[in-house]
Amino acid sequence: MAETAVVIGGGLVGAACAEMLSRRGGAVTVVESGVVGGGATAAGMGHLVVMDDSPAQLALTSRSLELWQDLAGTLPAAAEYRQCGTLWVASDEEELAGVTPKQAAYHAAGREAELIGAAELARLEPHLRGGLAGGLRVPGDGVVYAPVAAKVLLERSGAELVRGRAEALVPGGVRLEGGRVLKADLTVVANGIQAAGLLPDLPLRGRRGQLVITERGGDVRVNHQLVELGYLKSAHGSDEDSVAFNVQPRPTGQLLIGSSRQFLRPGQPTSGDLDWPLLRRMLARAAEYLPDVATLNALRVWTGTRAASPDHLPIIGPHPERAGVYLAVGHEGLGITTALGTAEVLASRLGGAASVLDRHDFGLTRHSLKEVAHA
Ligand SMILES: Cc1cc2nc3c(=O)[nH]c(=O)nc-3n(C[C@H](O)[C@H](O)[C@H](O)COP(=O)(O)OP(=O)(O)OC[C@H]3O[C@@H](n4cnc5c(N)ncnc54)[C@H](O)[C@@H]3O)c2cc1C
């Protein structure tokens, strides 16, 4: 049980894994080349959301929300955890018809979900435009400021933090830039999109996203994380660039506005450059649902890169060909939500307590070689 471990990556996923590993009793080291929680974890929206694109995704997000609710009471105020709920907005009757099976799926997963008519939608969120058909309110969803959550979990783990870049996996450990080798019984690869640099065969693709935060002092308030029902189509649909209406209320009164998705071309490096036409499309989409957003000033705009696997599910568990190497990568747009569930799956794969998630396959071998070759 008390194995030593090196975790590569101090994002939220690595921090959650480190915290789990330290609870198992072994000494844990985390290697981080930049700032703890400074990668995709800092670029993300921090929406903790149950999603139902596949049974495995529904199970992982639902279980993760339970784990977040358990953790929430122990987080400092700076983590800005709030259970504001998600309001999935239906723009017309056709979208509204799709809400009933979605509600049934949430109920089957043990999550509360309430059908909302047009009048109730307008009462709950008066800044939404008129003429929307209704929606689904998921009150157990929430938001968190993920960089702080990552720091807290890492501190709680008591792990030794080594500043440096893992350059290569070596038998029984990791070699850092400069030549130092960290030896351990287990190596957990949790360095987001850069995992492909250590293990080029991983089927990961970079998927950029852009976010806008408004200035303080604006008078457009929303009460839930608002997401259009077409979001899943944008998130998981085609390879084309896409945008969806997705707005989050911040405790400061600011609005965090998303979202966009854009696959990097093979070999294209991750970069912070903005794609202005896509950003305009994203803001126009937001204004279609929330017209008053056009009266607000943007304070800051940024981009980040999600690490996407071919089936949009994370890859968690042992590497089939490298003894002692475990994977916790490929969380795409749900890694803040699913970091805690990921650590639970990993614990179970390491021979810890069984998890309700054990019936789902998150392993690397679920991907065919063809997918790996084309990713
Ligand atoms: C625009 C956008 C919006 C998003 N919104 C949400 C959301 O609302 N809800 C949600 O659940 N998810 C969201 N996500 C997804 C979420 O942010 C990611 O899935 C999650 O942060 C992944 O965490 P991670 O720890 O795996 O990766 P990261 O946070 O990227 O952490 C990896 C760490 O590894 C370090 N590292 C990299 N290479 C090395 C190396 N060789 N050696 C040592 N260290 C290394 C990096 O510096 C980094 O700190 C969003 C993502 C984006 C881009």
Question: pLDDT tens-digit profile of 173-213?
Answer: 999 999 999 999 999 999 999 999 999 999 999 999 999 99
Helix/strand/coil for 37:
coil
Compute the half-sphere exposure of residue 370: CA atoms within 13 Å on the CB side of its CA: 0
Band of the pLDDT at 66, cuts 50, 70, 90?
Answer: very high
Q: For residue 52, give both structure tokens.
A: 């139902």
Distance between Cα 125 and ligand 1 center (Å): 31
Min mean pLDDT across 110-114, 159-163, 247-251, 364-368 is at 364-368
Nearest atom, ligand 1, residue 32 CA? 44
Ligand 1 contact, 341 CB (< 6 A): no
The answer to whether residues 68 and 340 touch, using CB atoms and an 8 Å cutoff, is: yes
Rg of the chain on CA atoms, in Å? 20
Nearest C-alpha to atom 2 of ligand 1 is from which residue? 44
User: Is pLDDT at 233 greater than 80 in this prediction?
Assistant: no
Distance between Cα 145 and ligand 1 center (Å): 13
Band of the pLDDT at 1, cuts 50, 70, 90?
Answer: low
- Nearest alpha carbon to residue 59 among 367, 371, 358: 358
Which residue bears the tokens 């071309």? 265
The helix (run of H) or strand (run of E) holding residue 210 is strand 205-214
**pLDDT tens digits for 291-303?**
999 999 999 999 9
The answer to whether residues 250 and 256 touch, using CB atoms and an 8 Å cutoff, is: yes
- Nearest alpha carbon to residue 143 among 336, 346, 290: 336
State the chain's mean pLDDT as an integer.
94
Classify the C-alpha dihedral 229-371-269-57 as positive or negative: positive
Helical ranges in 171-258 per DSSP H = 195-198, 231-236
Q: For residue 197, give both structure tokens.
A: 């640099």
Beta strand pairing status for 186-189 and 325-329?
parallel
Q: What is the mean pLDDT of residues 321-342?
A: 98
User: Is pLDDT at 26 greater than 80 in this prediction?
Assistant: yes
Distance between Cα 48 and ligand 1 center (Å): 14
Residue 2: the pLDDT is 76
The answer to whether residues 264 and 205 touch, using CB atoms and an 8 Å cutoff, is: yes
pLDDT-above-70 percentage for the chain: 96
Nearest atom, ligand 1, residue 38 CA? 49
Q: What is the mean pLDDT of residues 66-86?
A: 98
Q: What is the mean pLDDT of residues 159-167?
A: 98
Residue 35: the pLDDT is 97
Q: What is the mean pLDDT of residues 352-357?
A: 92
Residue 371: the pLDDT is 54
User: Is pLDDT at 367 greater than 90 in this prediction?
Assistant: no
Which residue bears the tokens 């609710």? 69
- Nearest alpha carbon to residue 331 among 317, 315, 348: 315
Please indicate whether residue 182 or residue 274 has the higher confidence score (pLDDT): 182
Q: For residue 335, give both structure tokens.
A: 């890694």
Nearest C-alpha to atom 20 of ligand 1 is from which residue? 335
Distance between Cα 42 and ligand 1 center (Å): 7
Classify the C-alpha dihedral 190-46-204-354 as positive or negative: positive
Amino acid at 327: L
Residue 374: the pLDDT is 46
Q: For residue 179, give both structure tokens.
A: 């030549």
pLDDT-above-90 percentage for the chain: 90
Q: What is the mean pLDDT of residues 120-139?
A: 98
Nearest atom, ligand 1, residue 248 CA? 8
Query: pTM surpassing 0.85?
Result: yes
Q: What is the mean pLDDT of residues 43-66?
A: 98
Ligand 1 contact, 39 CB (< 6 A): yes
Residue 369: the pLDDT is 45
Nearest C-alpha to atom 3 of ligand 1 is from which residue? 44
Please indicate whether residue 352 or residue 310 has the higher confidence score (pLDDT): 310
